[in-house]
Chain A
Amino acid sequence: AQSVSQHNHHVILSEAASLELGCNYSYGGTVNLFWYVQYPGQHLQLLLKYFSGDPLVKGIKGFEAEFIKSKFSFNLRKPSVQWSDTAEYFCAANTGFQKLVFGTGTRLLVSP
């Protein structure tokens, strides 16, 4: 079955530290990839997406992700995190919009 794995369930960083959150998917063929963020008490918002083209995707708030097809990965990165990045981050994938599958999420806590 198609699945998305996020191996880091909880991450704690100090402000200005670099961030990398892992995401692996199990789809074969063409896949669309997403990172969503959920700030405390809020709904999910799209951080960035990859459909095709340049495998290095830039999103909002300084986030970026790299699609590595050979590794079935779509890791999220940010060079320097801020306290306001404290949130839960979800990787998601689909091959068509009706079947978006989410990972289990990574809770990021950034300490000032």
Chain B
Amino acid sequence: EAQVTQNPRYLITVTGKKLTVTCSQNMNHEYMSWYRQDPGLGLRQIYYSMNVEVTDKGDVPEGYKVSRKEKRNFPLILESPSPNQTSLYFCASTDTGANVLTFGAGSRLTVL
């Protein structure tokens, strides 16, 4: 089944403890992106990647890092999480010709 898989789905952590949210897609998509969803703010793009080793900042990149060493994986790294990063995170991917995002199931992160 074509899908975007995120892990973990739920995580509670404490301020400053590094964490990684993994994202993997099995559709051979070139483009991948991370969004965060907050009440009243909709979805805001954190980082995106056009292909392997090509990443760029979205609208809210502060406090996050990403890497794209393989086409299928696009992990989101929070080096020193803070409470304002408590949010629902979505990974998405698309074929560059299709321009329609496929979303993962979401990862709900709480930073205490």
Q: Which residues of A contact B (CB under 8 A)?
A: 6, 9, 32, 34, 42-46, 49, 51, 90, 92, 94, 97-105
Contacts and interface: CB of A to CB of B under 8 A. Distances in A.
Contacts, number: 48
B43 A98 contact: no
B105 interface: yes
B31 A97 contact: yes
A92 to B, nearest CB: 8
B47 to A, nearest CB: 11
Contacts of A51: 99
A97 B104 contact: no
Interface residues of chain A: helix, strand, loop or mixed (majority): loop
Contacts of A102: 35, 42-44
B42 A46 contact: no
A43 B44 contact: no
Contacts of A45: 103
Given A44-B90, A98-B48, A103 B42 contact: yes
B101 A100 contact: yes
A104 B40 CA distance: 6
Contacts of B41: 104
A32 B101 CA distance: 13
B75 interface: no
Given A98-B56, A102-B42, A42 B105 contact: yes
A43 B40 contact: no
Given A102-B42, A104-B41, A46 B105 contact: no
Given A34-B100, A44-B90, 19 more contacts: A32-B99, A43-B105, A44-B43, A46-B100, A94-B99, A97-B31, A97-B96, A97-B101, A98-B48, A98-B50, A100-B45, A100-B101, A101-B45, A102-B42, A102-B43, A102-B44, A103-B42, A104-B41, A105-B42
